[in-house]
Amino acid sequence: MNTVIAVTLVFVGCCSNVVFLELLVRDFPGCGNIVTFAQFAFIALEGFIFETNFGRKKPAIPIRYHNYMIMVTMFFTVSVINNYALNFNIAMPLHMIFRSGSLIANMILGIIILKKRYSASKYLSIVLVSLGIFICTFMSAKQVSVEKGATEEEGVYAFLHWLLGIGMLTFALLMSARMGIFQETLYKQYGKHSKEALFYNHCLPLPGFLLLSTNIYNHAVLFSQSTPVEVPVIGQPVPIMWVYLLMNVITQYVCIRGVFILTTECTSLTVTLVVTLRKFLSLIISILYFQNPFTPWHWVGTAVVFLGTLLYTEVWSSIRTAIKGEKLEKKAE
């Protein structure tokens, strides 16, 4: 029962979150900082109440410079850059596909830092994911030049602006993989404390948003000037962008809780499958509902990315093993 609830939370929460994020970014492409701040503040408040019992519960992992502070700094940087990259002509579908390349970053850093070695199928899957992302990125680059280039000079500027966004996503991808490795070593030393880590990763970076306070304030003013809509619960008109932001924050929390429950109830293979399917559904929603440009080559690239992801998680071999097991059980009967 818990598994069904978790899968429902992941699909409903994560897919809805993408919709509300795109509604925000469509009108205000540079609103990534206020969105990130709102998400961090909400999860930090929830964790302060329910996880730390209003600060009375001591952390299982000591809050020292070489422990939480490094992880928190990396998490804050990755979160801010990922959302702010949408301000650089990065279409939401490309944003989602690019972030699916975490497997590449994890493997590369795993080889360099942890000296890991992988099977041939793993290397093949990474080649497929890399190829798929390259196809989608290359086709998006052509669209940026065509759509934005009223003149040659403006076309070059638009392309360079877009290229900076791609650079930001690449950096965030590598930083996220490095954070995962650091988190893994931390959990080996102190044990796995996911809820605690979720709270401190969102609470401790809050002072860092002071560096972005001007941008956050400016977008808060812009949000307040958006078209008001009647909210049934309070019976008062509220600027629609604030409604979108609130729904984005709530659905982000639902998504995170769903993934957390899933990791405690299911195998890592099941979690990967559910998350991969959720990403694909979010992509379809973004393309169809928001009519984002998506050429046949984009579909080819997307298919190759998801094929590589499924190959990496050894889904096919697991399915074959399960089928063989069922046949053996029937013969035994």
* DSSP string of 15-78, one letter each residue: HHHHHHHHHHHHH-TTTHHHHHHHHHHHHHHHHHHHTSTTTTSPPSS---IIIIIHHHHHHHHH
**Model pLDDT, residue 183:** 80
Across 45-74, average pLDDT: 83
pTM for the full predicted model: 0.82
Q: What is the mean pLDDT of residues 154-163?
A: 83
**C-alpha dihedral, 50 to 51 to 54 to 59, nearest 10°:** 170
Query: Residue 332: which H helix or E strand, with range?
Result: helix 315-332
Strands 236-239 and 228-231, sheet pairing: antiparallel
Contact at 8 Å (CB) between 170 and 81? no
Q: Six-digit token pair at 270? A: 């099941």
Does residue 136 carry a pLDDT above 50? yes
Give dist(CA 138, CA 26) in Å, integer.
22
Dist CA 97 CA 83 (whole Å): 14
- Which tens digits make up the pLDDT trace of 230-245? 988 778 899 999 999 9
Chain-centroid distance, C-alpha 47: 20
Q: Is 296 exposed, middle or buried (0-12, 13-18, 19+ CB in 10 A)?
A: exposed
Q: Is the pLDDT of residue 207 over 50?
A: yes
Is it the case that residue 263 has pLDDT exceeding 60? Answer: yes
Q: Look-up: residue for tokens 């694909």? A: 280
**Residue 10 token pair:** 């992941």
Residue 333 in this model has a pLDDT that exceeds 70: no
Q: Find the mean pLDDT for residues 295-313.
A: 84
